[in-house]
Structure 1
Amino acid sequence: MSYPNVKLSKENHVAVITIDHQPANALNQTTLKSLGEALDDLASDDQVKAVVLTGEGRFFIAGADIKEFTELDEQKAVAVSEVGQQLFNRMETFSKPIIAAINGACLGGGLELAMACHIRYAAPEAKMGLPELNLGIMPGYGGTQRLPLLVGRGKATELILTSQLIDGEEAFKIGLVDALFPVEQVVEEAKKLANKISEKSAISVKLSLDAIHHGLLHGVEAGYKQEAKLFGQVFTTEDRKEGVAAFIEKRKPNFTNR
């Protein structure tokens, strides 16, 4: 399937979203809209259990489309920021895990999008950063909030205020990405992870994602309460019965996502 600037493919239980807006896969408003429509498709497809997101060619996403910024006044800029934030918040709370396969330059809005994914794999040479201050602006799609959660307040502040770009090796060291692979393998490795996750009960995956996000958003005490609530919910499912029976019988479970 294809949307303007976005390609969507599905294989077994894994979907791959590819941003394809040449030459650098910039995130203009059309691309953001298409990404939202692709997520609509995946949300309603019970066969898809995990998602890989990458960029076409030698770029992941080089940033927002700066040409669009020339037309913004204060009110329009707030609206653009809110559109991006709402989409990336939706990704962060998506019921199926989204794995970013960072195959090249991942800058500005591109890094903000990658940080909204649940897991990030990257190539060692991939350049990452939030260079908005070089343009006299600032991150507007959630970068000032997600980067400190991933790398700590001090490092995030340094990276944002200096517009410093780092490679995948440094990103891995500071916790911005979760694993490194050669550029020609990073998408396939992300698919392998997605396939591994797709073997689990989709209900258990969804509820686990919910619990993780709830604690990060509301604090650990609220997270404990949400975890207990969801732990109770999972015990009402057929998958729980199947998983326990399979363990006792020493066989692979056959989850039906009920």
Structure 2
Amino acid sequence: MTVRLDARDRVAWLTIDRPAKRNALTGEMWAMLHRHLDALDRTRDLVAVVLRGAGGSFSAGADLAELRTPDPEYVGGVQELAERTVLRLRDLAPPTFAEIDGPCLGAGCSLALACDVRICSPRARFGIPALRHGIVYEPVHVQRLVQVVGPGPAGLLLYGGEVWTAEEATAHGLVDRCSEDTSEAVERILTVLRGASTAAAGATAAAIRAASDTVASTATTTTAVG
């Protein structure tokens, strides 16, 4: 089990590689992913980062067997590391892309939501079964989920434990495009980015994120006033 980092032609590829467990993430894998993100933050001339899973899955989320370890201090440490890692991904300067195939559940969904653009295959499935497993979905991840899909659809995932098809996820805005060939769909975008300067790519990502945060903040204020 591992998280691989490959960089070529100004693009970094992060691959969650534990297909036998549908790429469920252990504490060791979270630590490895965090180290890779730190390394990418120091990498020059990078115009994009693509996160994907190996073997027909994006990620089934956190390794539940590990979270059920009878050591609350260890479990708390893993959960805290997972949250820091997701936020680290959101803070990367280059544009970030999630290339999603198969299950994208729980913490896997949090990782996908941390990316700027999400592209999935028709085989993708999305869900956050935290309550079913007696787990509290961290407020920072709830906030991001609501920012992307809205409070009602977020409730369907969190309260109702719904699992969305690729079509449903696209309709709710959880993913931005569904494509039979996700690699080709991502590559079309990367072709444009490779022709841009690192500064321009990073500035565009920062502007889109700032605008998204502003829209979300305005919507929350409007709801509160209304």
**1:186–1:131 Cα change, 3 Å:** same
Q: Which residue of 2 aligns with 1:53?
A: 51
Provide the residue aligned with 1:166 in structure 2: 164
**Which protein is bigger by CA-based radius of gyration?**
1
Please give the alpha-carbon distance, in whole angstroms, between the structure 2 residues aligned to 1:193 and 1:95.
Answer: 17
- Report the TM-score when normalising by structure 2: 0.87
Task: Between the two structures, name the one with larger relative contact order (CA 8 Å, sep ≥ 6).
Answer: 2
Which of 5, 8, 12 is the matching residue for 1:8?
5
Q: How many residues align?
A: 217
Shift of 1:215: 4.7
2:129 aligns with 131
Q: Which residue of 2 aligns with 1:94?
A: 92
Question: Is 1:191 matched up with 2:187?
Answer: yes
How far is 1:167 from its partner?
0.9
Q: Normalising by structure 1, report the TM-score.
A: 0.77
Aligned pairs (5 A) from 1:201-240: 201-217=197-213, 219=214
Q: Whole-Å Cα distance in 2 between the matches of residues 141 and 47 of structure 1?
A: 34
Secondary structure of 1:7's partner? strand
The Cα offsets for residues 28-84 of structure 1, whole Å up to 9 and x where unpaired, read as: 111111111222222222132111111001111011000111125655544333222
CA RMSD of aligned residues (A): 2.3
Q: Tell me what 2:150 maps to.
A: 152
Segments of structure 2 that go 5 or more residues without pairing to the other structure are 219-226
* Structure 1 position 141, deviation (Å): 8.0
Deviations 1:162-206 (A, max 9, x none): 111001111000100001111xx2123213312322322221222
Deviates more, 1:200-209 or 1:171-180: 200-209
Aligned to 1:231: none
Query: Residue 95 of structure 1: CA displacement?
Result: 0.5
CA–CA distance in 2 between the matches of 1:196 and 1:130? 33
Structure 1 regions of 5+ residues with no counterpart?
A: 224-258
Contact 1:84–1:141 (CA<8 Å) still a contact in 2? Answer: no
- Report which stretch shifted further, 135-144 or 89-98: 135-144
CA distance in 2, matches of 1:92, 1:13: 19
Shift of the 141–116 alpha-carbon distance from structure 1 to 2, 3 Å rule, reads farther
Alpha-carbon contact 2:60-2:104 (below 8 Å) kept: yes
Displacement after TM superposition at 1:209 (Å):
2.4
**1:65-108 Cα shifts (integer Å, max 9, x gaps):** 00111125655544333222211111112101110000111001
1:125–1:169 Cα contact (<8 Å) kept: no
Task: Tell me the percent identity.
Answer: 32
Letter in 1 for 2:37: L
Aligned to 1:25: 23
